[in-house]
Amino acid sequence: MLWACIYLPHLALDGILRRRPTEGPLVLVDGPINARTIVSANDAARTAGLHVGQRLSAAQALLSQFEAIPYDRESVDRWHRFLAAVAYRYSSEVSLLPHAIVLEVSKSMGLFGPWPRLESMLRTDFTDLGFRHRLAAAPTAHAAHVLTTVSDGQAVLSVDTLRNALQRVPIEKSRLPANVIAALPSMGIRTLGQVLVLPRDGLRRRFGAELLASLDRLTGDLPSGLALYRPPDTFDLRIELHHEVENQSALIFPVRRMVDDLAAYLASRDGGIQRFLLRLEHRDGRYTDVSVGLLASERDGAMLFEFARGRLEHVVLPEPVLALRLIARDLPAFVPAGRDLFDERPANALPIEQLRERLRARLGDGAVYRLGSTQDPRPERAQREATHDEVPVEPHPRPTWLLQRPIPLRGGDPIILAGPERLETGWWDGGEVCRDYYVIETSLGQEAWAFCAPDEQIGWMIHGWFA
């Protein structure tokens, strides 16, 4: 077993900064309205002398201009779960710890390469998403968690060296129960190493069985007992814009970020997406929905973005936009399109499915279609979009162009080339027809498919051209 721990010291702050990069001082505040305290501060704020734990009133006395945003527990939870979903692509055993994500990687290394390589992949992913982090690896999840609080990048790969690594961890960073951390230093015990050599009976009598269990989980004598993270079956991401946007082009950047997040999420669960919704939120709870539908399930970020942008460009914004939300409920399995090894097409060919998506994105959902025959003999109903019944080929002559609405024949008498073929059907559904169809040559020499009333050969109506 080898557990990697990704510790996210600035989870709340990074979640806000990644969508509203700011140079100025910014702090997160929490607590009752009359006693707000700073729970997180960015670099600019810290340089100005603000620090975590400070009262908001004290901070305002120190610095006149800074942004204070209320700490939103729900959004922090959401980011935490989102990052777990990102980590899920590296391992099926992912668990959430306070401000950290742990994942079991001993089996993943077979696929992604040895730990240094896997570590750099994890770092790249989290840095790209804009989250500061500290990484460590250890044979147990809790030990990895403890190591990240002490240093960054430490990797303890075997159980034998684990005790050594834990020796020097100060007791206040050991993540043991709070009462233990408060009591032990007064007994002269300052590192984890000292706790681990204490007689267990004495520890149990003084602090109860809970401490022994924590220590055993740390060293691997007890299984970690963590609940495994399971990725949700829907994707729902909301971004609040920090000013009102009246022009679509200003929405492109946040949409790109959201779609990239969606692609990361889809890749981690090896799924695809066929339909998602971009909700542009206006004032007072009004919103505009932009639906992005694809013909087949896809997951490539660049492609999803291209389609989303195509749809967005056609939207007329009725009001300024305050927030964006990306909702994906239907996440079908992703089946990569198979390609022939001896494919004759050029190497950089765009698959026909992608071409259809691109055309649909600009021309509309119904603009690209295939036609097939139906069982109905009436010309008006003999063909339908995208039906491929194995209907036998019609034995009687049929034109190549069909007129949507028959037109009367003008000019002189036509020459009959073939016919008649009588169609008498449809009496059961109100669309009754009773016509004699002929192939005729008009006085201008064109070949047409025309009908007239049974046995009459006058009042010709042209229904198609033999082009």
Partner 1 sequence: MNAVVPLSALLDARQVWRGRASEVPVGDQPTGWCALDAVLPAGGWPEASLSEILLPVDGVGELRLVLPTLARLTQGQRHVVIVSPPYAPCVAGWRQQGVDMRRVEFVDAGEKDVLWATEQCLRSGSCAAVLAWPHHADDRALRRLQVAAVTGQALAFVFRDRSHLSNASPAALRLELEAPPRPQIWVRKCRGGAVPAQAIPLPRSVH
Residues that bind partner 1 (CB under 8 A): 345-346, 348-352, 354-356, 358-359, 362-364, 366-373, 379, 382-383, 388, 393-394, 397-404, 417-418, 439, 441, 444-447, 464-467
Q: Which is nearer to partner 1, 8 or 462 (CB)?
A: 462
Smallest gap, in angstroms, from Cβ of residue 462 to partner 1?
Answer: 10
Q: Which is nearer to partner 1, 172 or 313 (CB)?
A: 313
For residue 123, which of 203, 7, 233, 230 has the smallest C-alpha distance?
A: 7
Smallest gap, in angstroms, from Cβ of residue 352 to partner 1?
Answer: 4
C-alpha–C-alpha distance, residues 292 and 274, integer Å: 8
For residue 138, which of 114, 113, 102, 111 has the smallest C-alpha distance?
A: 102
Smallest gap, in angstroms, from Cβ of residue 424 to partner 1?
Answer: 18
Smallest gap, in angstroms, from Cβ of residue 364 to partner 1?
Answer: 8
C-alpha–C-alpha distance, residues 78 and 61, integer Å: 33
Smallest gap, in angstroms, from Cβ of residue 391 to partner 1?
Answer: 8
Name the token pair of 456.
């009459």
Q: Report CA-CA distances (Å) from 251 to 230, 283, 312, 316, 321.
A: 31, 16, 9, 13, 9
Q: Which is nearer to partner 1, 199 or 408 (CB)?
A: 408
C-alpha–C-alpha distance, residues 262 and 278, integer Å: 12
Smallest gap, in angstroms, from Cβ of residue 438 to partner 1?
Answer: 12
Q: Which residue has tokens 């129960």?
A: 177
> Which residues, at least 6 apart from 16, have a Cβ–Cβ distance to it below 8 Å?
26, 28, 69
Q: Report CA-CA distances (Å) from 343 to 340, 347, 349.
A: 5, 9, 10
Number of CB atoms found within 10 A of residue 377's CB: 15
Q: Which is nearer to partner 1, 116 or 431 (CB)?
A: 431
Q: Which is nearer to partner 1, 25 or 379 (CB)?
A: 379
Q: Which is nearer to partner 1, 21 or 366 (CB)?
A: 366
Q: Which is nearer to partner 1, 42 or 354 (CB)?
A: 354
Smallest gap, in angstroms, from Cβ of residue 385 to partner 1?
Answer: 9
C-alpha–C-alpha distance, residues 227 and 216, integer Å: 18
